[in-house]
């Protein structure tokens, strides 16, 4: 109880408006408009209606990307043609010079042949070979999966591996308009919706957590949780397509999915309720974990503690045996991958028993980079990146339930489930 009010107090202190009376009067009209827009967006989020705008928005963005890509390719061809013209001029000049210089007297012929037979060794001749060798070692098949996915075409976001280059006035103007739209219009709106979602999560979990365990509590948590995660998905403009929803996990089951970022939880919790299993975090993620933990039986643990791993195994078995509890959501990879492949599944979650409900999650990298590189970014930095992206387009495939065969152990079962998820999501199955 004390920790709950402390978390709530911190949020109010962070987002407390600090305006003078005159400023508040000037912003009254804009605040009213903002509130109306937020109420409308939350209404759409609660009903999960797209109103046909999502497809049109995606088509418009793709047309803009295609226009800019054509401009970039045209400018690149022009530069290549200019460089080829310059090379032809240099070669022609060199031929004239060589004819003048390489017309020696007959008495110097022997010296020229002797000099041609001599070769000088330069240390920098091997640099290219060393560079290629080091790149082959560093950029192996596994290491590449922990870096942001490279796009074949620029999506007008500043978060690329290339520095800014002037292409044309049209491309620069388009990028400027997109920058204004994302950072001046969308980012403040999305940030406001995120704060509303966090406050709603803390309040509704406090209310649900104070109710004794009963059917009404589970009913209340179901709809409160769905609404909460739909608000979060609305904050990052998530447009999710769910396939084969009849295969969703049910109580007493274990849902396993490939892992790209903590937003995977938001995507899946839009369509179903889960008991989460994951590492304990601090900061903003820790705030959300403590809030969720008040209302239902989630499992948080420390990777470094051997006792925690044993406790998790025991609690997972108890959870699966209780058919009144929510299905468990686990990411067996244990880390975030850049959504191009599926890495080895840890066998711990497949030793519990019960029915496994595989789920494949695939994001469209053309509109946003959903991968969280926790070694380089804090979660708040990652959240800011997502809130300033175009949108979060995602496909979710619910695969048929799977059970362990009598002739396979937990490791073989995990490998078989991983292969099915990779195949359905169009991901690389790393052995």
Tell me how many degrees the CA angle 335-257-148 measures, rounded to the nearest 5: 45
> pLDDT tens digits, residue range 264-285?
999 999 999 999 888 887 788 8
- 5-28 in b/e form (b: 16+ CB < 10 A) is eebbeeeeeeeeeeeeeeeeeeee
Tell me how many degrees the CA angle 161-164-169 measures, rounded to the nearest 5: 140
Q: Please tell me the distance from the alpha carbon of residue 399 to that of residue 2, in angstroms, as a whole number.
A: 42
What tokens does 35 get? 């509130």
> pLDDT tens digits, residue range 288-337?
888 888 888 888 877 665 566 777 888 888 888 888 889 999 999 888 88
Percent of the chain at pLDDT above 70? 68
Which H/E stretch holds residue 10?
helix 2-14
Q: Over the Cα atoms of the chain, what is R_g?
A: 29
> pLDDT tens digits, residue range 42-98?
665 555 445 556 677 778 888 888 888 787 777 777 777 766 665 555 444 444 444
Antiparallel, parallel or unpaired: β 328-330 and 275-279: parallel
> pLDDT tens digits, residue range 238-265?
889 999 999 999 988 999 999 999 899 9
Angle between helices 283-295 and 187-209 (to 10 degrees): 40
């Amino acid at each position: 109880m004390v920790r709950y009010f402390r978390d709530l107090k911190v949020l109010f202190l962070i987002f407390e408006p600090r305006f003078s009376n005159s400023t508040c009067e000037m912003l009254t009209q804009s605040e009213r408009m903002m509130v109306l827009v937020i109420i409308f967006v939350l209404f759409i989020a609660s009903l999960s209606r797209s109103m046909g705008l999502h497809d049109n928005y995606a088509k418009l963005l793709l047309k803009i990307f295609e226009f800019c890509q054509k401009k970039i390719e045209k400018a690149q061809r022009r530069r290549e043609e200019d460089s080829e013209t310059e090379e032809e001029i240099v070669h022609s000049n060199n031929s004239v010079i060589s004819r003048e210089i390489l017309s020696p007297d007959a008495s110097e012929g022997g010296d020229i042949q002797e000099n041609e037979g001599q070769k000088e060794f330069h240390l920098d001749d091997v640099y290219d070979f060393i560079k290629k060798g080091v790149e082959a070692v560093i950029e192996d098949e596994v290491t590449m999966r922990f870096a942001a996915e490279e796009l074949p075409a620029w999506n007008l976001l500043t978060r690329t591996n290339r520095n800014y280059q002037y292409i044309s006035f049209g491309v620069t103007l388009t990028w400027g308009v997109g920058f204004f739209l994302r950072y001046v219009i969308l980012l403040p709106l999305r940030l406001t919706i995120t704060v509303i979602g966090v406050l709603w999560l803390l309040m509704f979990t406090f209310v649900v957590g104070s109710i004794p365990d009963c059917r009404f509590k589970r009913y209340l948590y179901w709809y409160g949780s769905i609404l909460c995660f739909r608000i979060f998905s609305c904050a990052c403009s998530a447009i999710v397509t769910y396939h084969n929803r009849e295969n969703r996990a049910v109580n007493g089951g274990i849902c396993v999915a490939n892992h790209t970022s903590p937003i995977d939880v938001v995507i899946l919790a839009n369509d179903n309720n889960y008991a989460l299993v994951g590492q304990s975090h601090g900061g903003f993620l820790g705030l959300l974990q403590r809030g969720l933990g008040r209302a239902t039986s989630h499992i948080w643990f420390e990777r470094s503690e051997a006792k925690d791993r044993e406790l998790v195994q025991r609690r997972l078995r108890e959870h699966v045996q209780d058919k009144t509890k929510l299905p468990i959501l686990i990411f067996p990879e244990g880390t975030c991958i850049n959504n191009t492949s599926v890495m080895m599944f840890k066998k711990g979650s497949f030793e519990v028993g019960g029915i496994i409900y595989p789920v494949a999650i695939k994001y469209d990298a053309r509109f946003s980079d959903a991968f969280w590189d926790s070694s380089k970014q804090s979660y708040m930095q990652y959240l800011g990146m997502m809130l300033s992206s175009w949108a979060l387009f995602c496909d979710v495939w619910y695969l048929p339930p799977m059970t362990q065969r009598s002739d396979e152990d937990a490791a073989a079962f995990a490998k078989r489930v991983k292969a099915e998820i990779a195949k359905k999501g169009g991901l690389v199955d790393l052995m």
